[in-house]
């Protein structure tokens, strides 16, 4: 499966959602997640993210491992998103900011 990681938080560009053939993206207030049960590993979404937040499960670094569980957990709670929408107005300012997990809204 592919996993949405920290850099998506407060950026949420949503370019990723339109290419997914199996609609596995779910949207929260300031982050998206992939449903690992639905993802077919097609790889299409990975290059779409302008902040490189989408990572294959196999390529997760040690400190990104916990995002797999988080994607699984939140995809069960959040609704599916299939269409691109405008990112937050301040998305650019949040690109590559470290430790964004504390800003995750549920």
- The residue ranges that bind ligand SF4 (CB under 6 A) are 2, 19-20, 22, 24, 34, 39-45
Q: Which of residues 60-89 bind ligand F3S (CB under 6 A)?
A: none
For 25, the token pair is: 């993206």
Q: What are phi and psi of 33, to 5 degrees?
A: -135, 160
CB of 57 to ligand SF4, least distance (A): 10
Q: Which is nearer to ligand SF4, 9 or 81 (CB)?
A: 81
Residues 6+ away with beta carbon under 8 Å from 62: none
What are the distances in angstroms from CA 84 to CA 44, 48, 68?
15, 12, 23
Q: What is the dihedral of CA 63, 27, 36, 70, to 10 degrees?
A: 30
**Residue 49 binding ligand F3S, by CB under 6 A:** yes
CB of 77 to ligand F3S, least distance (A): 17
User: Using CB distances below 5 to 8 A depending on partner kind, what does residue 41 bind out of ligand F3S, ligand SF4, none?
Assistant: ligand SF4
Instruction: Catalog residues that contact ligand F3S under the rule CB under 6 A.
Output: 4, 8, 11-16, 32, 48-49, 51, 53-54
């Amino acid at each position: 499966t592919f996993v949405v990681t920290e850099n998506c938080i407060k950026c949420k560009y949503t370019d990723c959602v339109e290419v997914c053939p199996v609609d596995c993206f779910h949207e929260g207030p300031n982050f998206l997640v992939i449903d690992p049960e639905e993802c077919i590993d097609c790889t299409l979404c990975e290059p779409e993210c302008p902040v490189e937040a989408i990572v294959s499960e196999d390529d997760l670094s040690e400190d990104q491992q916990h995002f797999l569980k988080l994607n699984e957990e939140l995809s069960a709670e959040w609704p599916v998103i299939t269409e691109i929408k405008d990112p937050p107005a301040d998305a650019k300012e949040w690109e590559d900011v470290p430790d964004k997990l504390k800003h995750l809204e549920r």
